Amino acid sequence: MNSSKKINSALISVFDKTGLAPIVQELAKNNVEIFSTGGTQNFIEELGIKVTPVEELTSFPSILGGRVKTLHPKIFGGILHRRLFEQDLEQIDTYDIPPIDLVIVDLYPFEATVASGASHEDIIEKIDIGGISLIRAAAKNYKDVVILPSQKSYAGFLEIYANNATTTYDQRKHFAMQAFNVSSHYDTHIFNYFNDETEDVFKQSILNASVLRYGENPHQKGVFYGDMDALFDKLHGKELSYNNLLDIDAAVNLMADFQNEEPTFAILKHNNACGLASRPTLKEAYEAALAADPVSAFGGILIANTTIDLATAELINSLFCEVVIAPKMNDDALELLKSKKNRVLLIQKLFTFPTKQFRTILNGVLEQDRDILLETKPDLQTITSKEPTASEIEDLLFANKLVKHTKSNTIVIAKNKQLLASGTGQTSRVDALNQAIHKAKTFAFDLKGAVMASDAFFPFPDCVEIAHNEGINTVIQPGGSIKDDLSVAYCNENDMAMVMTGNRHFKH
């Protein structure tokens, strides 16, 4: 079987005409008969190219406000008939159905319409019926028909077609694969729009993919599915790695809880903050964040919640770091930070976080709501005789934000809105506390007057006792242990203040 096929006729029906002109012009140059509808027909005619209206082919007008245009046997027969099946050819001849060798479709923008906040009625009208049917029909009959299901296929087709005006079996099969990718993605987003969570099924689809140098380790393949350009403007630096992306995700999620607050700077390593501070100026915030652990900061991910100025950039520039993220960088600061050729500089755009989180486990996927809970002063319940002071409450809330974004089990020690140290990812809460105390002392911090935050309740009073012995006398924790009263009693006996939030913040 000769796998190369010439295109003699094409059906074109697109919502967005961007990038279509070069293809139409190339088809016209090769005397391809073009069928089209509505706005696409007008677009082609304005190019000075002859086009046959679909209504002329079907002898049936567009009806129902354009809902039915191409859904006709003369259209789908022309696409779906098998060129080597005698019975199919006889029926095509009997009903005077012209073959269609190329189908070009650009679907109604359902996903973008949902994202725009449009009304339910407008969203429903952007569910493409004819277009999706054309895509599936042409893709099914890929042995004989070429399908271009979206603008992303245009460049590849033009490169092939401009060469010798034919396509091979393998090329048509590749376009069919792209077509089913487009159609399944489209249907997934329609389903997720309609699903009110009464159907417990996992359906997600992302078309954008970036192949990474490798995964978590060099022997693992890595791919990022998503649109980084929608989140950041990358101004400088090398390609981001798998581990960079994990750290960037952790950094952005952490800093989201410090939006619209005083200048705050964070330094992260292996998805955990090794430095965090809020200060009147960003320079001071950076200095305080770095002081928490200048050793771990080496090779870290840096993020600010406000514009990076030159004074702050001069300090950053003396540190080897992988990535710097901010909503803005002053021109002089940007030029200085660009002096290290591999340092990645990202300007974070305003965007909405996904509401769901997923993780592959065993032979399936875990899904949960994103932890968007952010405790404020009214959420704090003082359960000891002693109440925390106003400044201690600020530190408690500061520490509680950080504990939410640190690997469990975790204890965070903070003072004057500065992270002194944290114990991260420990199998016991006591180990996490001891780790934090050891680290704070390593960098010569005075723990007297510091506060302690825990991501989960204290099953025993051992943690508050250890903290008290180090000069830490103010504590925030979720509560909920059947032995909460033991920790409360110890605090009351030793003039400590403890507040409970009622909300656990495990992170695994």
Sign of the alpha-carbon dihedral angle for 287, 403, 374, 230? positive
Q: For the chain, report the end-to-end CA distance as a whole number of angstroms.
A: 56
| SS3 labels along 228-269 | HHHCEEEEECCCCCHHHHHHHHHHHHHHHCCCCCCCEEEEEE
Size (the chain), residues: 508
- Would you write out the chain's pLDDT as a tens digit for each of its 508 residues? 458 899 999 999 999 999 999 999 999 999 999 999 888 999 999 999 999 988 888 777 777 877 777 778 888 899 999 988 889 888 888 988 899 999 999 999 999 999 899 999 999 999 999 899 999 999 999 999 999 999 999 999 999 998 888 999 999 999 999 999 999 999 999 999 999 877 788 889 998 899 999 999 999 999 999 999 999 999 999 999 999 999 999 999 999 999 999 999 999 999 999 999 999 999 999 999 999 999 999 999 999 999 999 999 999 999 999 999 999 999 999 999 999 999 999 999 998 888 899 999 999 999 999 999 999 999 999 999 999 999 999 999 999 999 999 999 999 999 999 999 999 999 999 999 999 999 999 999 999 999 999 999 999 999 999 999 999 999 999 999 999 999 999 999 999 999 999 999 999 9
Q: Whole-structure pTM over 0.85, yes or no?
A: yes
Q: Of 453, 369, 378, which is closest to residue 408 (Cα–Cα)? A: 453
Query: Could you list the active site residues?
Result: 140, 270
Instruction: For 320-356, give one letter per residue: b (16+ CB within 10 A) or e.
Output: ebbbbbbbebbeebbebbbebeebbbbbbeeeeeeee
